[in-house]
Each structure stands twice: as structure tokens, then as C-alpha cells.
Amino acid sequence: MSDLDGLAAELDQRARSIELIGDQLVHAAAIALWSSVAAEAFRASVDARHRDCTDAAGLLRSAARAVRDFAADAEVEKQRLRRLEAAAIDGVGRVISLVPGL
């Protein structure tokens, strides 16, 4: 399931990228020398966008966890199906060995 693991890693990386964007936005607003009522409103807006970035990153991380969980479940099911296949092949082989002329 390496494709799914790769997808989960990509989602985690994008979550971190979004967090960095939010952090850069806050940093840029913090160092701005602008001061007024409008500046305070702008900074409040920046804080809201930072929370949005944090929320989006959290959603991406949740999606990454879900993909990893799905990959693990799929691997378990794949192993179960392999065991069933091996048992079926073994059973057919036994039946064939009991039938004369096969």
C-alpha cells in the first residue's frame, strides 16, 4: 500500500505548509509598523486567517490518518484473502488427488 502511504505523507506535508503560511502571515502582520483602528481590524483578520490555516492543517492531518488507517485495514484484508486463496487451492488439490484419472 505504498501509494496510500505516499498520499498520507503528502497530506501531512501540505498540512505543515499551510501552517507555515499562517505563521508567516501572523509574523508579517506583527512586524508591520501600521497603527490605527484599521490596523487592529487587519490584525484581527490575520488572526482569523491564522486560525483558518490551523483548522485546514488539522483537517489534512485527519485525512492523512484516515488514509493510513485505510491502508492498514486494506493490508489486513489482503492477507486474509491470500490465506483464503491458499486454502481454496489446497482444497481443490486434495479433491483432484482423490479423483482417479485427474
As a whole number of angstroms, the distance between CA 13 and CA 15 comes to: 5
Any idea what the CATH number is for the domain that residue 64 is in? 1.10.287
User: How many C-beta neighbours within 10 Å does residue 39 have?
Assistant: 13
As a whole number of angstroms, the distance between CA 12 and CA 56 comes to: 11
Question: What is the extent of the structural domain holding 21?
Answer: 2-98
Each residue of 62-76: b (16+ CB within 10 Å) or e?
A: ebbeebbeebeeeee
The model's pTM is: 0.77
The total of structural domains in the chain comes to 1
Model confidence over 43-82: pLDDT tens digits? 899 999 999 999 999 999 999 999 999 999 999 999 999 9
As a whole number of angstroms, the distance between CA 76 and CA 54 comes to: 33
pLDDT given for residue 102 in this prediction:
66
